[in-house]
Amino acid sequence: MCPSRGVLEHVTSRWGVLVLVGLQEGTLRFSELRRRVAGVSEKMLSQTLQALEDDGFVLREVYAVVPPRVDYTLTSLGSEVAAQVEALTDWIEENIDRVAQARRARPERARAPR
């Protein structure tokens, strides 16, 4: 179908958003990124990074040292998309109070079964 759907879903995925924003400020190692993205498991971080790497948004650099070291950096393409994502997350953080105020408890449309 539409090829941009897949890319969009990688970028807007739960962890994709946070990884892109996390790398926005600069290169990070795997463990640093994991600490910065609160709540992500190793597996999901790894999967998310592979998807973003495959899309050309993230550069993965492996160093042959002991202990192993892997750096993750946004590509120029990644920086551009991350800027868009960050604009969104920044808007939410700046306006979270307005949202909290607008959010009303929805009148119950269904009652719990008895």
Partner DNA sequence: CGGTATCCGCAACGATACTG
Partner DNA sequence: CAGTATCGTTGCGGATACCG
One residue of 104, 108, 110, 111 binding a second copy per CB under 8 A: 104
Interface with a second copy, residue 111, by CB under 8 A: no
Residues sharing a CB contact under 8 Å with residue 29, sequence separation 6 or more, in sequence order: 69, 70, 71, 72
Specify the length of the chain in residues: 114
| Torsion, CA 58, CA 65, CA 45, CA 34, rounded to 10 | -110
One residue of 36, 55, 70, 79 binding a second copy per CB under 8 A: 55
- Residue 51 beta carbon to a second copy: minimum distance, rounded to whole angstroms: 10
Residues in contact with DNA by the rule CB under 7 A: 13-15, 29-32, 39-44, 46-47, 49-50, 60, 67-70, 72, 109-110
